[in-house]
Structure 1
Amino acid sequence: MNTGDTAWVLASAALVLLMTPGLAFFYGGMTRAKAVLNMMMMSFGAIALVGVLWVLFGYSMSFGTDAFGGLVGNPFEKFGLSNILSTGKDMPLVGTIPEIVFVGFQAVFAIITVALISGAIADRTKFGSWMVFAGLFAVIVYFPVAHWVFDFNKDAAGNAVGGWLGQGLGVIDFAGGTAVHINAGAAGLALALLLGKRRGFGKDPSHRPHNLPFVMLGAGLLWFGWFGFNAGSALAANGIAGYAWINTLVAPCAAVLGWLVVERVRDGHATSLGAASGAVAGLVAITPACSAITPLWSIVLGLLAGAVCAMAIGLKYKLGYDDSLDVVGVHLVGGIVGTLFIGLAADPGSPAAGDGLFSGGGFELLGKQAIGAGSVLVYSFVLSFAIGWVIKKTMGFRVSTQDEIDGVDLSQHAESAYEYGGVGVAGSFQPLHDQIQHGSHKGKDADATAGSKERIEA
């Protein structure tokens, strides 16, 4: 055991855990004022539920001995982690760190993958149904895919017994372009299609982000935590971590520029929402590639990801699906761009030692990357749609029209994010706004209502 490596991975795990509250701010700021708490609760719910499932059997399913034809690890092999808790000389290691530290590091990856999906179904989802979906998705989709991509275990004789994509086929995915981002993006698309469009989608201006400072704060926390996500995946405090760290810095920098250029040309102005979204798009794209391409190619990838994702978010209006917070446009598209780019620009001198097309390696690696991206996309989309369909038919997945009008914060949590005292009517801003718009205040409240309307419009 190396104490420096152990300390770095423990710190990285804490950084990655912070990403999910950061995601809550990022997503929460992009919703309406009367849906922000529900949006943030879906992220915190994912932390609670997936954390428990991971310790019970999720880690065993992801990193246990192959079962069911190699589709997943044996869920009972390391159930409850009881057989890896030794603190003596016989403590099991993963590389140079205790296995129990590796358990914690991988747990936070599982958590944020589930939380990412929630952005596709913002403003119209029953919280209880979301929690059921989150648990089933983790067990049926994420744990098996993590086994395919991240498990590099060997048996006592040194033979490879890990996942069929990463260890078997040789797909390069350093920190989760397939297992995390394509996986979450495909699931988000499935649920967006299943739940249907929000009331007033594409027409109602109230669907615009209600708190852009929240969005910027969330993007900053995500970027900060992402250094643990990518550099921590080296599982050591070494040059590979430094290589991934630099790429995690420069790719999103370039992606912000790429996104803002598209906005400036297309819309005539660069926005704070675009800058935040561009940073996330660059982080998504560099995640699988951060150990495989040089910093110069990372700049190219960042520019490409920022521009492509900025254009991709408009597809929902053209194709008619309501991906509320652009999970598809940023995570699915960005994950695909980053995963395939490895097949083009992987450098033989990089830590991943891949041989991409531009290095004279031909199309072999690009083909492997395409198989990895495509298999995870199809598996996640099909099973997520099936899980969501069952929930929809049994307990219902979407709130009623009236609950959507009133706001999912009130209907699902009996709370409001913002209380405006002294505006003429007690209660939260948005229900008051709705009452004013629908003319429901009569009689003695008429003057107060008129004054409130002026203040709201101002």
Structure 2
Amino acid sequence: MPPGITLAADTPTLSAANTGFMLICSALVMIMTPGLAFFYGGMVRVKSTLNMLMMSFISLGIVTILWVLYGFSAAFGTDHGSIIGWNSHYVGLSGIGLTQLWDGYTIPVYVFAVFQLMFAIITPALISGALADRVKFSAWALFITLWVTIVYFPVAHWVWGTGGWAFDLGVIDFAGGTAVHINAGAAALGVILVIGKRVGFKKDPMRPHSLPLVMLGAGLLWFGWFGFNAGSWLGNDDGVGALMFVNTQVATAAAMLAWLLYEKIRHGAFTTLGAASGAVAGLVAITPSGGSCSPLGAIAIGAIAGVLCAMAVGLKYKFGYDDSLDVVGVHLVGGVIGSVLIGFFATGGGQSDAKGLFYGGGLTQLWKQLAGVGAVLVYSLVASAILAFLIDRTMGMRVSEDDEVSGIDQVEHAETAYDFSGAGGGTAPRSAAPGPVQEAAAAQTKKVDA
């Protein structure tokens, strides 16, 4: 996010163009969460599809309410100790005027708040991919509630809030490499180290059940990411948002091609899953860095992320942690790559005058990036592991082994994603009397049989 520094002589006025642009970007970021649900939902086995979709969708409900009640205030209110924000006028979003501008910008506070809300929603949803097949839905809902309160809101303030320690240090994170992707990836690692592996990990086949669904989700993510990235400049007046838009496309393309090339050399095939995963890796890596590098730098960042993330997804088999859908390999590793490479590829001609090592800036920006990466990674990993441990020891984090084997969709949601035996997708209790719809269907079946 850009710093909010404004001279008295340049007091901004509300811009209808920037306000409309940011509302569109907010809607684009919102559609990323359903896109993520489809992306993850296609990657799991049939028996876990609905649960995977719901683990993303529930974040839309929980985080929205928390954001209105206190989250926006905690993340972007007046700084307290460089750690957390608070502003009583933001509590409940009740003390904000309709045309009150976000400090230093030409958009209303409400617009900034709803744009940032979409970031807060998708970040815990990203974590869910690492936990597929085995987590109680009620425990997941509680985890989201605690995690955004204890981890996301403070980290967002560190990185983007005026007075946050990382913000003041000069850590560059254009749209969420640290606050979103490293934060979510480290949290995923912390939780899976607590709850353990799926039944049959490294023994049973756990292939994606619907690669078309994966590709649909990846396409929606790519589409929505333009709002995620370009919108993070909070306006469209000076060309920086346009640079970020271009670099988003360029880096994503480079990462997809690099992942596929690595995959062909390493495994002998170009896979659709590899194309989708490579694209997401590029999107993750360019998120923090795209406002500070050139399009050629974006190609390099994307290509590096594509190869290194492709290599990283195999680490779970080497080290024995069950990251179901490669959240650690793509989001944590990709976020680290994109954030650290700012220290090499920042040109000084984009969002700020900070230059990386390759452009004569020395190691100054690199050390700042490493400080931000390290702090967010460690805090999120430790705090998330503690939260998972406490939930697991109280209400239990995992479903039973029998329920996991039989299918978490039936156990947690009383539904199945695909019903090949009848007209409905749900399951009614065995003792339930047939309703008029069921009776009509049965009568029609008898006619056909006759």
Equivalent runs, 1:105-144 vs 2, <5 Å = 105-144=115-154
The answer on whether the counterparts of 1:94 and 1:102 sit within 8 Å (CA) in structure 2 is: no
Match among 85, 95, 98 for residue 83 of structure 1: 95
The answer on whether the counterparts of 2:79 and 2:161 sit within 8 Å (CA) in structure 1 is: no
Q: In 2, Cα distance between the equivalents of 1:77 and 1:374?
A: 33
Question: Within the alignment, does 1:28 sit opposite 2:30 as a pair?
Answer: no
SS of equivalent residue, structure 1 residue 392: helix
Q: In 2, Cα distance between the equivalents of 1:363 and 1:408?
A: 49
Q: In 1, Cα distance between the equivalents of 2:346 and 2:184?
A: 24
Q: In 1, Cα distance between the equivalents of 2:291 and 2:101?
A: 29
Partner in structure 2 of residue 62 of structure 1: 75
Give ranges in structure 2 of 5+ residues lacking alignment: 1-13, 428-450
Percent sequence identity over aligned pairs: 58
Deviations 1:177-206 (A, max 9, x none): 00000000000001111111111111211x
Match among 55, 58, 66 for residue 53 of structure 1: 66
SS of equivalent residue, structure 1 residue 97: coil
Match among 13, 30, 43 for residue 56 of structure 2: 43
Q: In 2, Cα distance between the equivalents of 1:368 and 1:164?
A: 11
Q: In 2, Cα distance between the equivalents of 1:91 and 1:234?
A: 15
The answer on whether the counterparts of 2:74 and 2:154 sit within 8 Å (CA) in structure 1 is: yes
Query: Given residue 151 of structure 1, which amino acid in structure 2 is its aligned partner?
Result: G
Equivalent runs, 1:357-396 vs 2, <5 Å = 357-396=357-396
The answer on whether the counterparts of 2:136 and 2:412 sit within 8 Å (CA) in structure 1 is: yes
Query: Given residue 165 of structure 2, which amino acid in structure 1 is its aligned partner?
Result: W
SS of equivalent residue, structure 2 residue 202: coil
Partner in structure 2 of residue 258 of structure 1: 258
Q: In 1, Cα distance between the equivalents of 2:349 and 2:151?
A: 34
Partner in structure 2 of residue 231 of structure 1: 230
Q: In 2, Cα distance between the equivalents of 1:243 and 1:341?
A: 17
Q: In 2, Cα distance between the equivalents of 1:189 and 1:220?
A: 26
The CA deviation at 1:77 is 4.7
Q: In 2, Cα distance between the equivalents of 1:175 and 1:302?
A: 16
Q: In 2, Cα distance between the equivalents of 1:222 and 1:409?
A: 24
The CA deviation at 1:389 is 0.4
Q: In 1, Cα distance between the equivalents of 2:235 and 2:336?
A: 27
Deviations 1:423-443 (A, max 9, x none): xxx9999xxxxxxxxxxxxxx
Partner in structure 2 of residue 296 of structure 1: 296
SS of equivalent residue, structure 1 residue 285: helix
Partner in structure 2 of residue 403 of structure 1: 403
Give ranges in structure 1 of 5+ residues lacking alignment: 153-161, 430-458
Q: In 1, Cα distance between the equivalents of 2:288 and 2:227?
A: 14
The answer on whether the counterparts of 2:414 and 2:426 sit within 8 Å (CA) in structure 1 is: no
The CA deviation at 1:83 is 1.1
What TM-score results when the alignment is normalised by the length of structure 1? 0.88
How many residue pairs get aligned? The number is 413
The answer on whether the counterparts of 1:62 and 1:147 sit within 8 Å (CA) in structure 2 is: yes
Deviations 1:40-93 (A, max 9, x none): 1010111100000001100000011123x2211126452101111x235x5665
Q: In 2, Cα distance between the equivalents of 1:427 and 1:257?
A: 38
Q: In 1, Cα distance between the equivalents of 2:400 and 2:357?
A: 52
Partner in structure 1 of residue 165 of structure 2: 164
What TM-score results when the alignment is normalised by the length of structure 2? 0.90
CA RMSD across the alignment: 1.6
The answer on whether the counterparts of 1:420 and 1:428 sit within 8 Å (CA) in structure 2 is: no
Partner in structure 2 of residue 8 of structure 1: 21
SS of equivalent residue, structure 2 residue 348: coil
The CA deviation at 1:293 is 0.3
Q: Which consecutive segments of 4 or more residues in structure 1 shift more than 6 A?
A: 426-429
Deviations 1:307-340 (A, max 9, x none): 0000000000000000000000000000000000
